[in-house]
A and B are shown apart, each in its own frame.
Chain A
Amino acid sequence: GQNIDQPTEMTATEGAIVQINCTYQTSGFNGLFWYQQHAGEAPTFLSYNVLDGLEEKGRFSSFLSRSKGYSYLLLKELQMKDSASYLCAVRDGSYQLIWGAGTKLIIKP
Chain B
Amino acid sequence: IAGITQAPTSQILAAGRRMTLRCTQDMRHNAMYWYRQDLGLGLRLIHYSNTAGTTGKGEVPDGYSVSRANTDDFPLTLASAVPSQTSVYFCASSEGPDTGELFFGEGSRLTVL
Contacts and interface: CB of A to CB of B under 8 A. Distances in A.
Interface string B7-44: 00000000000000000000000000000000011111
Contacts of A99: 42-44
B101 to A, nearest CB: 4
A95 B90 contact: no
Contacts, number: 38
Contacts of B90: 42-43
A101 interface: yes
B98 A91 contact: yes
A101 B106 contact: no
Interface string A43-71: 11100100000000000000000000000
- What does DSSP make chain B's interface, helix, strand, loop or mixed? loop
Interface residues of B, number: 16
- The majority secondary structure among interface residues of chain A is strand
20 contacts: A4-B42, A33-B101, A42-B90, A42-B104, A42-B105, A42-B107, A43-B43, A43-B102, A44-B104, A45-B101, A48-B101, A87-B43, A89-B43, A91-B98, A95-B97, A95-B98, A98-B42, A99-B42, A99-B43, A100-B42
Interface of B: 40-45, 90, 97-98, 101-107
Interface of A: 4, 30, 33, 41-45, 48, 87, 89, 91, 95-102
